[in-house]
């Protein structure tokens, strides 16, 4: 397994394993990584302060994230996501746009596309656990 030289040079991190990879029949153009990040979502509301929702992620790529949230988000409207690794505490904030959703047990699974992709270093920090 390859070692990625991010973060602490005295403690190299292992490369994350993709959950799904791109293939001819898959619309996805890049690998997805399984994740259980803590998520805070700031969603706009008409003539009121933004609504804050807590949730979690199910998978992550450089260009987007699948979330489980208590409520559906308005499609294509800008939201701000704070993604936090539950073990390391590493945080990353990104504006995103919800592209699709569906009702699931425990809330709504929502696929969001980041306005600006995660860097390779940010992705590695978010998907690598302390034990790797």
What confidence tens digit (pLDDT) does each residue in 5-50 have?
334 444 444 444 444 333 344 455 678 899 999 999 998 888 888 8
pLDDT of residue 130: 55
Asked if residue 110 is part of any domain, the answer here is: yes
Asked if residue 132 is part of any domain, the answer here is: no
CATH number at residue 75: 2.40.10.220
Asked if residue 61 is part of any domain, the answer here is: yes
The tokens for 69 are: 């949230």
pLDDT of residue 50: 85
* CB-count burial class (<10 Å; 0-12, 13-18, 19+) for 106: exposed
The total number of structural domains that make up the chain: 1
Question: Residue 1 pLDDT more than 60?
Answer: no
Give the separation between CA 117 and CA 95, rounded to whole angstroms.
Answer: 10
Q: Residue 60: what are its φ and ψ, rounded to 5°?
A: -145, 145
Asked if residue 104 is part of any domain, the answer here is: yes
All residues at 6 or more sequence positions from 29 whose CB lies less than 8 Å from its CB, including other chains? 22
């Amino acid at each position: 397994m390859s070692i990625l030289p991010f973060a602490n040079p005295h403690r190299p991190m292992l490369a994350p394993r993709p959950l799904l990879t791109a293939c001819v029949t898959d619309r996805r153009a890049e690998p997805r990584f399984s994740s259980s990040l803590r998520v805070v979502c700031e969603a706009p509301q008409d003539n009121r302060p933004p609504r804050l929702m807590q949730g979690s992620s199910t998978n992550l790529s450089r260009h987007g994230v699948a979330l489980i949230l208590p409520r559906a988000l308005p499609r294509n409207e800008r939201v701000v996501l704070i993604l936090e690794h539950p073990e390391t505490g590493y945080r990353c904030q990104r504006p995103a746009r919800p592209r699709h959703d569906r009702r699931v047990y425990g809330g709504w699974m929502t696929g969001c596309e980041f306005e600006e992709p995660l860097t390779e270093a940010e992705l590695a920090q978010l998907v690598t656990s302390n034990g790797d």
